[in-house]
Structure 1
């Protein structure tokens, strides 16, 4: 895949103004407004530092949350955090394309770095459109005359077709940054060179995404076994004819996933034993965790997979040569129900096989356990990674490919 788009190696950026789209969207303490985790800022530091060292005038474009959310804020604090990480001053301007922002860009000297304001302060940013349509937005039209190259390093947002991600690729020479390049290379190589047995561990709350992955990797023969947890596991249990209780059926329906039950039923009929579902689950009774066999589930919310399922799944993981994981096994934020997620992550960390953690909450749980270095690859992008695993094109990557053409 890497040959289909340009990278930083393909252009001489010395004394050139380079606009770099990064994804430093970070969790923020709702009380203090302080950034709680700087992982994404550290990830992008390689691309930023390399461009600065090569003499580029580096302009950073990023987003933080979205309108209406408590963590929707300016990027002033992000500039300070980046300065500390890079050990270089990162200038900040509290606008995107005002005369003040344009003057700040024009006055940049080689090696200097400037962070523009939160791209989602621009109302058109969150609209999904074609690259040509996005190239005509005010954001792209106003900034394009001031830049020589566009670098997209925001793999975590690569599945989105927003203006800041694809609009500049139409008329500006565009390349992938180091985070984007590494993610695409590692994930695609893993999919192209799978060794068997190959296990997919699919959980979390985004059932439609996970079941899309399940369908894709079973159809193309990538997966030998699918281990389902979280709401995905509950949907498959329902599809298999197991009574999961009205409260859990109602929750699945409230999320708009009833059609996923029928889709899972079809997949079970076609692929049978390759799709594994929990044999016991954990509920909360009298404020305590209680593990219950799946034939005896009461009308209580399911918060985790049970101990027997953990042991069953961990054995499959230990025997696999390739393991892909997306989504936690349960409500891992609650210590009573963190066991499934943590034990399966530990099983992956102790595996001799290739292990890929697909971003999002399971990546956060892996980092929380201090096991990120024990995985073959921990992706920075949950949505983008799962889209790749589901066989979908990533809008920002397609835009980079078209730019090269």
Structure 2
């Protein structure tokens, strides 16, 4: 399909300085400070290698976590990891746009790669402002004059209007990297050619995201069924009048989602029969998995959907022509409670329909299982869920907006 913004293919990058924004935000062990998983680093390595192979001087911009978090740290380790993956030295610069960074960029030779410091060390990076105003931040003003092109490959952060994500596009010829390009092609194709029946499987703990998606897709008729799991299912069970126990009610309240119970009740009535809720659940009792029908739930923690629910959901999934899934079915990190998540992923992978898995935990579980039958596993949960909900992504809108500015 044709895209309405530039990609790497549209630029002559030979001996040019290219700023490339990636999302290599990785899980970090809070005790040792070591990166636990380099999946995202490997994902963006392809774009970085291609830029270097084309003779570009590649300057990488990236973030790690956010202020106040235990994994908010430098990118020195990321540079070492990327060097190993690429088999090419990636210079780490412990500066973002100061004289050290600017001098390092000025000294670069054809094919060189450097990684600047965590952009979120700079407070202006995350200020909420209109994209065009982000072009006037000190970081953009200092770095843009040193570069010839800006390539945005950070799909996982495309729903953010941060300075390093949207500001440079107003100062430099800009386009999408390979990760961004692949993600948008897959999602655009799926959303513009929805084959029926279309089924959404929504779970996890981000209830607001899931409700936003189901309301949008059921309202416009693109979704035929929504299968609820995880905390999303618990809220819809409450909305349907089931007693899920004080323990689980308290958990919903502490997460700040209690107001969504009324919304769930309204959606169940409005879209009668289209939103499916579990008929049984797996609870954590005495250190073990114990299943109960939803009409007879004791006051114990709900950790997964039950076997009968899995059977019913799998039948709907197997009949789907288009499938979207986001969020795990339960506490899949625990062996006894990964059954719901893994069985649903297996059902999706074995379905003949076109399937997309959102980013985050569900994507991690799918990758860990090594499933080959899923059409597309997204790298960005927040970005993909926003697209599914009909929201515009600031990064993509900016790339479209500036595409005709530079010839």
Q: What interval of TM-score do these two structures reach, taking the shorter chain for normalisation?
A: over 0.9
In structure 2, distance between residues paired with 1:324 and 1:42: 25
Report what 2:337 is aligned to.
Answer: 337
Q: CA deviation at 1:123?
A: 1.4
Q: CA deviation at 1:125?
A: 1.4
Residue pairs, 1:296-311, within 5 angstroms: 296-311=296-311
Post-superposition CA distance 1:236-267 (Å, at most 9, x none): 11111111122222222222222322222222
Alignment: residue pair count: 404
In structure 1, distance between residues paired with 2:327 and 2:286: 27
- Whether 1:376 and 2:375 are equivalent positions in the alignment is yes
Q: CA deviation at 1:2?
A: 4.9
Report what 2:61 is aligned to.
Answer: 61
In structure 2, distance between residues paired with 1:173 and 1:192: 28
Report what 1:290 is aligned to.
Answer: 290
Report what 1:109 is aligned to.
Answer: 109
Post-superposition CA distance 1:112-152 (Å, at most 9, x none): 11110111111121222111221111111111111111110
> Could you say what secondary structure the match of 1:253 adopts?
helix
Q: In the alignment, is the contact (CA less than 8 A) between 1:2 and 1:184 conserved in 2?
A: no
- Whether 1:212 and 2:212 are equivalent positions in the alignment is yes
Post-superposition CA distance 1:264-289 (Å, at most 9, x none): 22221121111100001111122211
In structure 1, distance between residues paired with 2:249 and 2:285: 19
Deviates more, 1:51-60 or 1:126-135: 126-135
Residue pairs, 1:6-405, within 5 angstroms: 6-371=6-371, 373-405=372-404
In structure 1, distance between residues paired with 2:200 and 2:298: 28
> Could you say what secondary structure the match of 2:273 adopts?
helix
In structure 2, distance between residues paired with 1:175 and 1:264: 40
Post-superposition CA distance 1:338-394 (Å, at most 9, x none): 1111111111122222111101000111112222x3311000000001000111011
> Could you say what secondary structure the match of 2:304 adopts?
strand
In structure 2, distance between residues paired with 1:127 and 1:327: 28
Deviates more, 1:378-387 or 1:37-46: 37-46
> Could you say what secondary structure the match of 2:167 adopts?
helix
In structure 1, distance between residues paired with 2:359 and 2:350: 19
> Could you say what secondary structure the match of 1:374 adopts?
coil
Post-superposition CA distance 1:22-52 (Å, at most 9, x none): 0000111222222121111111112111111
Q: CA deviation at 1:60?
A: 0.3
In structure 2, distance between residues paired with 1:206 and 1:127: 23
TM-score by length of 1: 0.97
In structure 1, distance between residues paired with 2:165 and 2:142: 15
Deviates more, 1:276-285 or 1:127-136: 127-136
**Pairwise CA RMSD of aligned residues?**
1.2
In structure 2, distance between residues paired with 1:128 and 1:375: 36
TM-score by length of 2: 0.97
> Could you say what secondary structure the match of 2:108 adopts?
coil
Post-superposition CA distance 1:313-357 (Å, at most 9, x none): 111111211111100001111112111111111111222221111
Deviates more, 1:152-161 or 1:241-250: 241-250
Q: Give ranges in structure 2 of 5+ residues lacking alignment.
A: none
